[in-house]
Amino acid sequence: MKLWTKGFEVSKEIEKFTVGKDREMDVLMAEFDVIGSLAHIKMLSTINLLTEDELHLLSSELLNILDEIRDGNFEIEANVEDVHSQVELMLTRRVGDVGKKIHSGRSRNDQVLLDLKLFIRSRIEATVENTKALFDSLISLSEKHKDVMMPGYTHYQVAMPSSFGLWFGAYAESLVDDLIQLQAAFVVANKNPLGSAAGYGSSFPLNRSLTTELLGFETLNYNVVYAQMGRGKTERVVAQALASIGSTLGKMAQDICLFTNQNYGFMQLPDELTTGSSIMPHKKNPDVFELVRAKANKLSALANEITLITANLSSGYHRDLQLIKESFMPAFDDLLDCLRITCYAIDQIKVNAGILKDERYQFLFSVETVNQLVLEGASFRDAYRIVGEQIQHGKYQTGAQAVAYTHEGSIGNLCNNFIKEEMDKVLESFGFNKVNSALKTLCKPVEKTV
């Protein structure tokens, strides 16, 4: 079944090539296709394109299909082109020709635009929830290990004193900024494209404001040409935000791979979180974080891929856009997997509290020595020169391995409470409650008016 069929057969080779992996991706949008249709038919009834009885019949059966999808009992049949065709086919089988009326005032492009927006909103919410879980773990670990010192590095060289509290807290705050970027992407995605039809609107008096309200969108893409142009752009903006979270995970994963190395020895993974070698019996490899690092880098490439696919396209729909789904939609699951496994693994990391006893860190407190001379009356330049000459001639004596940092965000003043407040502000800005409340109301069982 093809919505566009005109009575002639398309070459099987052409069909195979043009469909590609589209049907596989469409299954991920099935739930959202039904939800979009529920809103669309309610709107159609208000402009007299459906009777009250037809609306009740269609809504009831669409809710049945929605339940089947959520229970995992939905598939796109072999001779059916896509999810939109499958849903319409199921309706017509169950309620007759009235099922064909759900396409009035819509284009398949229109449906894909809406399904993707609804899919993106749902996946962003899941991403935010899992990012918040990792954030909470990092803040907790930062507080737990705030007094455990570790070396800080620049240029991969020993630099200045740091702490595990500072290190864990840094990645927590990084996630706050990542969610700010994701929230901006959510604003772009949370606009209703439904009613743009094939990209040029419809001669039916569609009530686009009503479907915007029914679906819990913050607003709509007003210009119907731009609504169509938003496909590809929305995915690119979201992909950039996902890559930002991935970048934080990838950098942390790289740190952990280094810090668990025997040459560093800053932390250890439990044996059960490592893998071994087929030839070297002593190996305990941090494969989980190596894969997080690789998946994070893969996410960084996604926005560029989308940019290149869409770079030379004019306004209006082009089949090129179909290919974006193949990389974009699974990216959410890749990121969610990374967030979950990182959260699981870091909670079991064991930190080494005695790192600084090693003589390789003898110069770690040289800046503290310089600062002490300054406090005793020397200029910073003179103090720097004195300590530098002591180090150069092997006369430097490491002082007490303690620091007295008090300023905001330093070893002695992590400011985790302020970082948590910033995270709470970002979480509140998404407004998921409005979205979920609207969809809950839309998907309620239909009661027929007497």
Q: Residue 155, by phi and psi: left (phi above 0), alpha (psi -120 to 50) or beta? A: left
If pLDDT is split at 50, 70 and 90, which confidence band does 79 have? confident
Q: Which of 62-66, 249-253, 313-317, 424-428 has the lowest mean pLDDT?
A: 313-317
Q: Which of 15-19, 77-81, 155-159 has the lowest mean pLDDT?
A: 15-19
pLDDT at 19: 59
Task: Give tens-digit pLDDT for 95-121.
Answer: 999 999 999 999 989 999 999 999 999
pLDDT at 401: 62
Structure tokens at 105: 């005032």
User: What residues contact residue 324 under an 8 Å CB cut-off, 6+ apart?
Assistant: 231, 232, 235, 306, 309, 310
Task: Give tens-digit pLDDT for 25-76.
Answer: 789 999 999 999 999 999 999 999 999 999 999 999 999 999 999 999 999 9
pLDDT at 22: 64
Q: Which domains does the chain have, with CATH numbers?
A: 12-104 (1.10.275.10), 117-194+219-356+422-437 (1.20.200.10)
Q: Which amino acid is at 279?
A: I
If pLDDT is split at 50, 70 and 90, which confidence band does 352 have? very high
Length of the chain: 450
pLDDT at 449: 57
Q: For all residues of the chain together, what is the average pLDDT?
A: 92
Task: Give tens-digit pLDDT for 370-393.
Answer: 998 999 999 999 999 999 999 999
Task: Give tens-digit pLDDT for 337-348.
Answer: 999 999 999 999
SS3 label, residue 6:
coil
pLDDT at 336: 98
DSSP-derived secondary structure for 41-62: HHHHHHTTSS-HHHHHHHHHHH
pLDDT at 398: 76
Instruction: Please tell me what DSSP assigns to residue 202.
Output: -
pLDDT at 280: 85
Residue 81 phi, psi dihedral angles, 5° rounding: -75, -45
268-299 b/e (C-beta count within 10 Å ≥ 16 → b): bbeeebbeeeeeeeeebebebbeebbebbebb
Say whether pLDDT at 17 is over 70: no
pLDDT at 62: 97
Q: How large a percentage of the chain has pLDDT more than 90?
A: 79
User: How much is the average pLDDT of 143-159?
Assistant: 94
User: What residues contact residue 416 under an 8 Å CB cut-off, 6+ apart?
Assistant: 139, 142, 143, 169, 172
pLDDT at 78: 84
| 22 vs 50, higher pLDDT | 50
Within 10 angstroms of residue 86's Cβ, the number of other Cβ atoms is: 22
Within 10 angstroms of residue 380's Cβ, the number of other Cβ atoms is: 11
Say whether pLDDT at 232 is over 60: yes
Spatial CA neighbour of 128 closest among 193, 180, 51, 59: 180
Query: Which residues is 149 bridged to in the sheet?
Result: 163
DSSP-derived secondary structure for 348-400: T-EE-TTGGGSGGGTTTTHHHHHHHHHHTT--HHHHHHHHHHHHHTT------
User: How much is the average pLDDT of 83-102?
Assistant: 94
User: How much is the average pLDDT of 181-194?
Assistant: 98
Q: What distance in Å separates the CA atoms of residue 388 and residue 315, rounded to the nearest whole number? A: 64
pLDDT at 4: 44
Residue 312 phi, psi dihedral angles, 5° rounding: -110, 25
Task: Give tens-digit pLDDT for 277-292.
Answer: 778 888 888 999 999 9
